[in-house]
Amino acid sequence: MNKVNSTVVAARSRAPILQEQVEPHERVSYRFFPTPKEVSNLANSMQKGGQVKDDDWTNIHNQLDSWKKNGVVIYFQAYDPNNEDPEKRPFVLVIQNDWMRELVIQITPNSAWAIDSTFKINQYGLPLYAAMCPNNRRYGMPIFLMLCSKDYQAGHEATTLRLTLRAVFEIMRHVRPNAIIIDESTTELNVFTIVINEDPWCWANNITGGEQIKCKLLLCWFHVKKAWMEHLVSHVTVIR
């Protein structure tokens, strides 16, 4: 433990100096020393003995006030499963700090986003969606994160994705990616299609329903290849 403490102290003092020597867009991939945020998280984890509370909602709300004060939250909706309006039932939390906001405006034009989700691997036990966009060196850069409730039968996933994409589009004003890459989720395809069809900045001359020039939906190549190998290759007749 003393050795870890010494490492944290040394990294905390040297990391800011080393970070200044790296281009802003490359700092996310800079790993010779922990970033200041990583150091803070490590120190906090050490202080708490690495323990996480069992109550997911307690964890979220303990962090929420801090995130709001720091300007990290661009959209939030409290969990209200009995609300008369279906749009207001799911929990939604969209996270994008100042660095992400500046970055996404700079690298989005003539590029593509990749959006995917993870389940049951974050400390809150909630679905986590992440969006990435490549910089000029083809490194994937995080541009926003979203946590949401997981009431699948109530259609929360579709609602949260719709609210999230609209909120991010509003922050970005007129800037849109050329394409958005998704996995094989029919829900993502349907929801994103609805939002894009309503967004004038995705269409030539801002006329929806005309020529689409931005946010064309593409299926992730990994999932295309996976489907091909699992469902099609076994039915292909090889001619020798």
How is residue 230 annotated by DSSP? I
The residue-averaged pLDDT of 67-87 equals 90
pLDDT one-digit tens code per residue, 15-25: 555 556 666 65
The residue-averaged pLDDT of 141-153 equals 86
pLDDT at 115: 93
pLDDT, greater one: 236 or 214: 214
Is 50 exceeded by the pLDDT of residue 51?
A: no
Q: Give the integer Cα–Cα distance in Å for 132 and 86.
A: 29
Task: Give the distance from CA 180 to its chain's centroid.
Answer: 13
Confidence bin at 220 (pLDDT 50/70/90): confident
pLDDT at 146: 93
The residue-averaged pLDDT of 139-156 equals 86
Q: Kindly state the tokens that stand for 239.
A: 């001619």
How is residue 203 annotated by DSSP? B
Residue type at position 143: I
Residue 61 · residue 91 · CB < 8 Å: no
Q: Is the pTM of this model over 0.85?
A: no
Among candidates 55, 57, 92, which has minimal Cα distance to 77?
92
Q: Give the integer Cα–Cα distance in Å for 14 and 151.
A: 45
Confidence bin at 52 (pLDDT 50/70/90): very low
State the residue for tokens 């400390």. 123
Average pLDDT of the chain is 79
pLDDT one-digit tens code per residue, 87-99: 999 999 999 999 9
State the residue for tokens 């991939």. 29
* Strands in the chain per DSSP E: 73-77, 92-95, 112-118, 128-134, 140-148, 179-182, 216-219
Q: Give the integer Cα–Cα distance in Å for 56 and 87.
A: 22
Residue type at position 21: Q
Q: Give the integer Cα–Cα distance in Å for 148 and 60.
A: 11
The residue-averaged pLDDT of 140-147 equals 92
Q: Give the integer Cα–Cα distance in Å for 41 and 65.
A: 17
pLDDT one-digit tens code per residue, 172-208: 999 999 999 998 888 999 999 999 999 999 999 999 9
| Structural Rg of the chain based on CA atoms | 21
pLDDT at 103: 92
Among candidates 122, 100, 103, which has minimal Cα distance to 111?
103
